[in-house]
Structure 1
């Protein structure tokens, strides 16, 4: 977890997001998980027992954001754990036309399975259709294509769930306070994902009649925009008890603005799961007390699913012979109580 060039960065996270979902996704039905300490970084562990060789093509957008860079790193790292997997990874582009050309190259190479995180889900739907029509199954990662015919399986995060769980966390913290006030630092308002996150947050707050949302600004998933928009919020709403920030990268900027203003009189909840956010939560020396996950480890699970698909296997822990058509990951809340568990999954 952009708009079109920065694009729908996380369009449409592992429950107890990054880790427990790994238990579900990484083992194929005929195999057992290997006790591999290195594999604990993004899941319970992938089965390294060699099977049918699988060539996986991976096409993602340009890594212009910490989360997107971690997507690529997770894909490479997971593929490297399998002796039977060859990964063909493209350079990545935020230009749909350029990414379409990269996907065509992977189709021409006759890869066994394609994992695609599209620069723009709607614009790249035809690329997914071309691959499927060529007999290459597609794992659609995160930003969803417009047609279910363009992919075999979709895996991604729950933007509505991010807002819902952020709202619930704040609601529980403030439920004993009469006349509590909250604000929101959103992402790019033109994105459906931003609207979903805000809707989830607003819906959660409906369960806490003592809480009123009194301010909102939209930033751009960058440190600079986070600092600028948080400064505006602090000036516009001088008194509030908590706020939710949609993105941990822009949250770094928000924390700078808060520090410059000398404010310590509210709690902050972030979004996505960056290493900086985890470190701040663990240190417990800022207003940031929790973050709601949208972790890039979903790329590692996409590789697991692609490998299972290429080998004709299902998913461990399920009775079916086939992998699921949709995998929506859970948006866990990470606070001081559980942050050590998630530290290895934090993106930089």
Structure 2
């Protein structure tokens, strides 16, 4: 989630992406099922693609390289990939230890290339810095599924899978706007992530664009944190001191949101509603309990890693996706940023991460 290259780069290039409005909990479901246009009653020409399903097929080895799991979301991504691979009898997963050091991660990927894995799933520590090793894999005939942090060059991957940072902000703004649309002179504040990251800028841009549709709402303050509990607490405390009254808070990240909640409780404030980001189990538990200010969270689904494994398996087996007319898997899959509230939290609870 803490990418140096936003998924929006892929989103903005329409000719190499397809937008799928699927909820996070069902992100991998499209890969199940089988279709054929061959009639049982006649010998028509078989032009239908083979489609990936759960039945054992050709044995494949998938190499997986991600950054160090130093954040709840990143750990959940790794677990999603591992768990999905274990589901398939025909998949062997070669998983690296993970690193936030670009040179070390490049070395880990080169080791997987030398092992001649059938396909690679790469969540780069820095998409721009690791573009060359993606190109190296593709030139070696190993398809690459680029996860979350997009490479600089579309030739460095066969398929991109990621979340929608702009969509997170947009849906957070829409939810807050609908809750406050009848309130005159409503005020909102924003607790952003790391400000120099494009993903943070995209989330803010989406939020601001959504609020343009609600002229009664003004964003009166914004503070950038660092996606940590400690930064969330300290930056939220600053916002609370500077703003004696407001009606809603949009927090970009549920991990830093734990700290924000602490600051809110210490200040004894409860006059506003809070919307989080990413979809942690802690946030969902709080939403379900309905006792604090946290009323919703906007998903950035870690299930994208499970979908990446599905797509990697389909690529290695030369299969397509059930439910689509296309013979090939898509060039890009962007997950939808669903808003989780008390009304639907039970549905999304299985995707919540620690």
Q: Is the partner of 1:101 in helix, strand or coil?
A: helix
Distance 1:16 1:48, change over 3 A: closer
Q: Which runs of 5+ in 1 are unaligned?
A: 32-45
Tell whether the 8 Å contact from 1:71 to 1:297 is kept in structure 2 after alignment.
yes
Q: Is the partner of 1:70 in helix, strand or coil?
A: helix
Report the Cα offset of residue 315 of structure 1. Answer: 0.8
Tell whether the 8 Å contact from 2:20 to 2:333 is kept in structure 1 after alignment.
no
Does 1:202 pair with 2:208? yes
Matched residue, 2:47: none
Q: Is the partner of 2:174 in helix, strand or coil?
A: helix
TM-score by length of 2: 0.90
Tell whether the 8 Å contact from 2:81 to 2:305 is kept in structure 1 after alignment.
yes
**Following the alignment from structure 2 to structure 1, what is the Cα–Cα distance between the partners of residues 267 and 21?**
35
Q: Deviations over 1:173-224 (max 9, x none)?
A: 0000010000000000000000000000000000000000000000000000
Distance 1:157 1:319, change over 3 A: same
Between structure 1 and structure 2, the one with the greater Rg is: 2
Report the Cα offset of residue 271 of structure 1. Answer: 0.2
Q: Is the partner of 2:23 in helix, strand or coil?
A: helix
Q: Find the partner of 2:256 among 233, 250, 254.
A: 250
Q: Is the partner of 1:253 in helix, strand or coil?
A: helix
Distance 1:220 1:168, change over 3 A: same
**Following the alignment from structure 1 to structure 2, what is the Cα–Cα distance between the partners of residues 117 and 52?**
25
Matched residue, 2:337: 331
Distance 1:324 1:78, change over 3 A: same
Q: Which runs of 5+ in 2 are unaligned?
A: 9-18, 37-51
Matched residue, 2:270: 264
Matched residue, 1:36: none
Does 1:163 pair with 2:159? no
Tell whether the 8 Å contact from 2:24 to 2:337 is kept in structure 1 after alignment.
no
Report the Cα offset of residue 249 of structure 1. Answer: 0.2
Report the Cα offset of residue 22 of structure 1. Answer: 2.7
Tell whether the 8 Å contact from 2:172 to 2:207 is kept in structure 1 after alignment.
yes
Matched residue, 1:292: 298
Q: What is the RMSD computed on CA atoms of the aligned residues? A: 1.6
Distance 1:180 1:215, change over 3 A: same
Report the Cα offset of residue 295 of structure 1. Answer: 1.4
Matched residue, 1:27: 32
Q: Is the partner of 2:271 in helix, strand or coil?
A: coil
Q: Find the partner of 1:238 among 210, 235, 244.
A: 244
Tell whether the 8 Å contact from 1:28 to 1:308 is kept in structure 2 after alignment.
no
Q: Is the partner of 1:88 in helix, strand or coil?
A: strand
**How many residues matched?**
329
Bigger shift: residues 47-56 or 60-69: 47-56
Tell whether the 8 Å contact from 1:14 to 1:295 is kept in structure 2 after alignment.
no
Matched residue, 2:60: 54
Tell whether the 8 Å contact from 1:28 to 1:313 is kept in structure 2 after alignment.
no
**Following the alignment from structure 1 to structure 2, what is the Cα–Cα distance between the partners of residues 320 and 282?**
40
Report the Cα offset of residue 335 of structure 1. Answer: 0.2
Matched residue, 1:134: 140
Q: Deviations over 1:12-52 (max 9, x none)?
A: 4995532233322x326459xxxxxxxxxxxxxx9431011
